[in-house]
Amino acid sequence: LKLGSSYQPSPLFLQETHKVYRQKLEEVTSLQTACSSSIHRQKKTLRDLKHSLQRCKPRASPEEFALIQEISSQIKERQNVFFDMEAYLPKRNGLYLNLVLGNVNVTLLSNQANQTSDEYEKFKLYLTIILLLGAVACRFFLHYRVTDEVFNFLLVWYYCTLTIRESILISNGSRYSATCKNHGKHEMSLKQNQATKRDSAWH
């Protein structure tokens, strides 16, 4: 190799690497499906066992009652374990994501989820500043229908994007509450109504 030149892998090496990558990806998908199915069956078994224990409680002796309490505690611990395991597995989208994205897998790896959360916070900060400056400009300087419509379109797009990102983060175990997401949907509806009313006012 000459000084200053960088090593370039051969096309054959790249093809082999890509082949290994696809094989690993198929293995991961297969493992995810197997784990999800097993957890679903185990959770169903635990629910049935829990209901059976609840029916046995009223007529149980003190010793049997203590045993039922111990088993119930173990069931709760096992359910918590399954909950932690499901955080790393694909899950069904909620109603909102199904309406917007369809049946698309939005499950992220742990490092991807952290990166997406950081990008979400930056997006919210930057767009809030831009929208604030835009509101001031439209209020005092730009009294045109075109700028007003562009600003309202930007507001609707912002809240649509915000609710989608929040829903994806919540689907991946984020601590964003449903109240925040509902607030975003409410604001989105208000901005859409506001844009419609202003459009009517222009006419």
Q: Is the residue at 196 inside a domain?
A: yes
Residue at 191 is within a domain: yes
Report the pLDDT value the prediction gives residue 187, as an integer from 0 to 100.
52
**Same domain membership, residue 157 and residue 102:** yes
Q: What is the mean pLDDT of the chain?
A: 78
Same domain, 101 and 164: yes
Does one domain contain both 109 and 189?
yes
**Same domain for 117 and 77?**
no
**Length in residues, the chain:** 203
Domain count for the chain = 2
- Domain ends where: 86, 121, 145? 86
Half-sphere exposure of residue 16: CA atoms within 13 angstroms, side-chain side: 5
Residues 79 and 143 in one domain: no
Q: Do 198 and 102 belong together in one domain?
A: yes
Helices in the chain by DSSP H: which ranges?
11-56, 62-86, 95-101, 110-140, 145-171, 178-202
Tell me if the pTM is above 0.75: no
- Give, in order, the Cα–Cα distances in Å from 135 to each of 17, 47, 83, 101, 183: 51, 53, 44, 30, 20
Would 5 be classed as within a structural domain? Answer: no
Residues 76 and 102 in one domain: no
Res. 202 pLDDT band, cuts 50 70 90: very low
Residue 82 lies in a domain: yes
| pLDDT score recorded for residue 8 | 67
Rounded CA-CA distance 113/174 in Å is: 8
- How does pLDDT run across 133-176, given as a tens digit for each residue? 888 888 888 777 888 888 888 888 898 888 888 888 877 766 55
**75: in domain:** yes
Whether residue 73 lies inside any domain: the answer is yes
Residue 1 lies in a domain: no
Which of 39, 60, 86 terminates a domain? The answer is 86
Q: Are residues 102 and 45 in the same domain?
A: no
For residues 70 and 154, state if they share a domain: no
- The domain in which residue 44 lies consists of 11-86
Q: Are residues 131 and 173 in the same domain?
A: yes
82 and 99 part of one domain:
no
Q: State whether 75 and 139 are in the same domain.
A: no
Could you give the CA distance from residue 62 to residue 10 in angstroms, rounded to a whole number? 74
pLDDT of residue 22: 92
- Above 70 in pLDDT, residue 196? no
56 found inside a domain: yes
